Amino acid sequence: MSDNEKSGQKDEKQGLLIVYTGHGKGKTTAALGMCVRALGYHWRVCIVQFVKGSWKYGELRGVKRLSPEIELHTVGEGFVGIVDDNKERSEHIRAAKEGVEFARKIIESCDYPLVILDELNVALKLELVDREDVESLIDAMSHEQHLVITGRDAPEWLIEKANLVTEMKEIKHPYQEGILAQKGIDW
């Protein structure tokens, strides 16, 4: 008897579109938690990070320790128009469009039961990619694949299309107390 049969659930697999959004912390962290869960079932996972690019986050090192089952590919050119960004907007757009094509190949390969498109909502908000780009990625999903899209400001059309949406809401943040981002917690 399968685990699903024991719990009264059907054994049918149904690919889900999952969105983690909002202005609170934890969107990428929630997606990475799904990676750990998927790894427990010997799934291969591919994470494609949009926007993030120039900074060295802890998740880059952590995911390397979980390879080859979990892969992380950074396709962005870093934050757009803030912090240390001195790139032309056209470079960011090119990188994001190439990232969409890369993600499409990953999804169409069907090699990964779980694909995470980290910060894709931000790329949408910044108009580095457009709705058609994202819809084409969703349409490329197989029936048994799960797709997670993270980032603040998810558009209403994506929220309506998704099977699961979680909004992270900031209630309190250490920065408000003058505490800077912490290694291993924030980056």
Flag the least confident range among 21-25, 51-55, 71-75, 144-148: 51-55
* pLDDT tens digits for range 68-125: 999 999 887 666 656 665 777 788 889 899 999 999 999 999 999 999 999 999 999 9
pTM: 0.88
Cα–Cα distance measured from residue 32 to residue 74, given in angstroms and rounded to the nearest whole number? 15
Domain ranges of the chain: 13-169
Which tops the pLDDT comparison, 95 or 54? Answer: 95
**What percentage of the chain has pLDDT greater than the value 90?**
64
pLDDT at 7 over 60: no
Pick the CATH number of 13-169 from 3.40.50.300, 3.40.630.10, 3.40.50.720, 3.40.50.10300: 3.40.50.300
Closest CA to 35 of 24, 52, 23, 47: 47
Q: Which of 178, 185, 184, 18 is CA-nearest to residue 114?
A: 18
Q: DSSP letter at 177?
A: G
Residue ranges with strand state E in 75-184:
114-118, 146-150, 164-167
Residue 119 near residue 150 (C-beta atoms within 8 A) = yes
Question: What is the spatial distance between Cα 58 and Cα 183, in angstroms, rounded to a whole number?
Answer: 8
| Residue 58 three-state SS | helix
Confidence tier at 55 by pLDDT (50, 70, 90):
low
H/E segment holding residue 63: helix 58-65
For residue 64, name the pLDDT band (cuts at 50, 70, 90). confident
